[in-house]
A and B are shown apart, each in its own frame.
Chain A
Amino acid sequence: MSTINRISPAIDVTAIRRQFPVLERLVKGRPLVYFDNAATAQKPQAVIDALVHYYTHYNANIHRGIHTLAEEATAAFEATRDAVRQFINAAAREEIIFTRGATESINLVAYTWGRAHIKAGDEIIISAMEHHSNIVPWQILCAEKGAVLKVIPVTDAGELQPDAYMQLLSDRTKLVSIVHVSNALGTVNPVRQIIDAAHKAGAVVLVDGAQSAVHLEINVQAPDCDFFACSAHKLYGPTGVGILYGKKQLLEAMPVFQGGGEMIKEVSFAQTTYNELPYKYEAGTPNIADVIAFRAALDFIAATGKENMARHEQSLLAYATAQLEQVDGLKIIGRAREKVSLVSFVIDKIHPQDIGILLDNQGIAVRTGHHCTQPLMQRFGIPGTIRASFAVYNTHEEIDMLVQALRKAIRMLL
C-alpha cells in the first residue's frame, strides 16, 4: 500500500531539504525529525540570508528617510507587501496590514472594527475548534459591549456541524470569526459556505488562516473574506510578522488601532489626522528586517509551487494516518474528510507528555498538549494530544522513524 502513497513526484524533497540548514542538525545524537510545523515552520537559507543581507547592507528606518539606505529598505519592505497581496490574491496592496502575528491581526479587528460595530445584544459566532487567539479577543469584546458569543459545535469526526451554524445565524449576528484549518485536528472548514451564509445574514466574516495559508491556495476574493489573518513564521518566514487582510472599505471606515509614528498624517495638539491605508494601522517602526526576509519565504513557496507542496503533504498525511493506525492503543483525534497534513492522536493509558519526552529523546520533535484549544480538548474529553504536523521538507522515511520511535516509547511506558 505504501508504494502508492509514497509517490509524490512533482517535487524533489532532497533538494528542498538542502535549502533548510537546521534539518542537518542532530538532536540527542540522532538526525532531527521535525514534525512541529504547525507551531512554526523551519526557514530556508534564502530567508536567513535575506535577514543577514538587510542588516549587513541596508538597515534603515523606512518610509521617511531621504537617504539611499532608507530608500532601499522601504522598497524591500513594500515589495513584501506586494508579494503578500499576490499570495492571498487581495485586490489592492492597501488591504495588506503588517502585524506581529495572526493573533495581533485578530486583536486588531476586535479592537477597531469590533469596538465600532458591536453593540449590546449583538452576536459573534465562532466555532468549538478555535485557537485561543480567536476566542479570547471576542470574549473580551463581548464582555465590554454586552454582546453574545455563540459557538458552532464540532462533530466526533472533528468537523463543524453545518446545521448548527445555520441555526445560530440570525440578524443579530454581526460577525463570524472562523478558523480555516484547525491547528489541533487538521480539519479544513468549508469557509465558502460559511461566508456565503454569513453574508446573507448581513454579518462580516474573519477567516483565521494561521494554519491554512501554508497548505491551501488562498484567494481572499473567492471565497469573499472580509478579514483574513495569518502569520509569516508558519509560511517558512521569520517570526514576529503577521498579516491582516481587510477589505478596503472596511479598513477605511475603521477607527485606528494604536497611535504613534507612521500612522499619522499631521499631528498638532488640537487635532491629529491619520495616514492613509495601510499605514493607518502600522504605528511605530515595524519589524522591517523580518518583513523583508518574509518575501524570500513567499518566493520559496512560489518556486516550489503550492499545488506541488500540497500533493506531497497529502501523501505524507495519508501515509502517516495509515501507519499510525496500526499502532496498538493509538486513536486519531480528528477524522475530517478534508484535512491538512497533521495528525493528532492519543494513546490508551499514556499521557501525551510522556510520549513527547520520549520522542524528543529519539530526535523527533512533535507537539503535545492542548494546542491552545482547551475548549476543543474538553469537547473530546482529553487533556491533550500528540500532534505530528508535516511540511514540504518532511519525508515518508521520517514518518517510519516516528512510528518506530513511538512503538519504542509505548513499550517503555506500558
Chain B
Amino acid sequence: MTDGQMNGQAAIRQTETEIISEFALFDTWDDKYEYIIDLGKRLPPLDAAYKTDDNRVRGCQSTVWLTASSRDGKVFYQADSDAVIVKGLISMLIRVLSGHTPDEILGAQLDFIREIGMTAHLAQTRSNGLLAMVKQMKNYALAFRMKQEMNGDGNSSTAAAGH
C-alpha cells in the first residue's frame, strides 16, 4: 500500500467522520430525514442520456441510476433516483467515495451509514437498495481498476461496470 493510498483512505474516513458529526447535531429522526431529503433535492439531476436500463441499480424499490467515470486514476460518480430519500443517501455515498482511486473505494468500510443510524436502509428487505448501491459503486471501482491494470494508465473515461 502506497502513502497516497493511505492518505486517500484516511480522506474517505475523514469525510465519513464529518457526516457523523453533522448528524450528531440532530436531536430527532425528523431532523435527520429533513437533512437527507434536502441532500436529495440538491443532488444534481443525472442527464437523461444516462438514465438507461444498463445504469439501473437492481434491488431497489425506487429506480436508481448510477454511472461513473474515471479521471487521473480516480473514480467519479453520478447518480439519480425517483425517490428523494434514496437520492439523499446516494448523495452521501458520492460525497464519501467520489474522487478516490478504485483501491481506496474498494477498501472503504462505510461505517458512517451505521453510525448515523441508517442501518435499517442496509437491510435486505428488497424495498431499499442502499446495499445494492454500495455494491454497484464498488463494482465500478473494480471495473476501473481492471481497466487501469490492462491499459497501464489511469485515464479511462468510460464506465464499464457489470451488474
Contacts and interface: CB of A to CB of B under 8 A. Distances in A.
B83 A353 contact: yes
A383 B86 CA distance: 15
Interface in A354-405: 354, 356-358, 361, 368-369, 383-384
A361 B29 contact: yes
B29 to A, nearest CB: 5
A383 B83 CA distance: 11
Interface stretch (B9-17, B30-38, B72-80, B137-145): B30-38
Nearest to A350: B84
B27 interface: no
A385 to B, nearest CB: 12
A412 B30 contact: yes
A52 interface: no
Contacts of B33: 357-358, 361, 412
A398 to B, nearest CB: 20
A413 B127 CA distance: 19
Contact of A413 (B29, B84, B86): B84
A356 B127 contact: yes
Interface string B52-72: 000000000111000000000
A93 B94 CA distance: 60
Contacts of B85: 353-354, 357-358
A361 B62 CA distance: 18
Contacts of B82: 351, 383
A28 B29 CA distance: 9
B128 interface: yes
Given A383-B62, A384-B61, A353 B127 contact: yes
B128 A353 contact: yes
A369 B84 contact: no
B143 to A, nearest CB: 28
Contacts of B62: 351, 353, 383
A353 B86 contact: yes
A214 to B, nearest CB: 24
B79 to A, nearest CB: 15
B13 to A, nearest CB: 27
A413 B36 CA distance: 10
Nearest to B82: A351
Contacts of A352: 61
A351 B84 contact: yes
A412 B83 contact: no
Contact of B34 (A28, A351, A383, A412): A412
Contacts of A413: 37, 84
Interface string B13-54: 000000000000000011001100100000000000000000
Contacts of B30: 361, 412
Given A28-B29, A383-B82, A353 B61 contact: yes
A351 B60 CA distance: 12
Contacts of A383: 62-63, 82
Given A353-B83, A353-B86, A353-B128, A369 B37 contact: no
A369 B61 CA distance: 6
Contacts of B84: 350-351, 354, 413
Contacts of A351: 62, 82-84, 86
Contacts of B29: 28, 361
A357 B139 CA distance: 27
Interface in A4-43: 28
A368 B34 CA distance: 20
A344 to B, nearest CB: 15
A412 B83 CA distance: 13
A27 B62 CA distance: 24
A359 to B, nearest CB: 11
Contacts of B127: 353, 356, 368-369
A31 to B, nearest CB: 16
A273 B86 CA distance: 57
B39 to A, nearest CB: 13
A66 to B, nearest CB: 45
Nearest to B63: A383
B2 to A, nearest CB: 41
A313 B63 CA distance: 34
A28 B33 CA distance: 13
A370 B122 CA distance: 20
A28 B62 CA distance: 23
A354 B37 CA distance: 9
Interface string B126-149: 011000000000000000000000
Contacts of A361: 29-30, 33
A412 B62 CA distance: 18
Nearest to B38: A412
13 contacts: A351-B62, A353-B62, A353-B83, A353-B86, A354-B86, A357-B33, A357-B85, A357-B128, A358-B33, A361-B29, A369-B61, A412-B33, A412-B34
Interface of A: 28, 350-354, 356-358, 361, 368-369, 383-384, 412-413
Interface of B: 29-30, 33-34, 37, 61-63, 82-86, 127-128
Given A358-B85, A369-B61, 4 more contacts: A351-B82, A353-B83, A358-B33, A383-B82
Q: 3 closest Cβ contacts across the A-B interface?
A: A351-B83, A353-B83, A353-B62
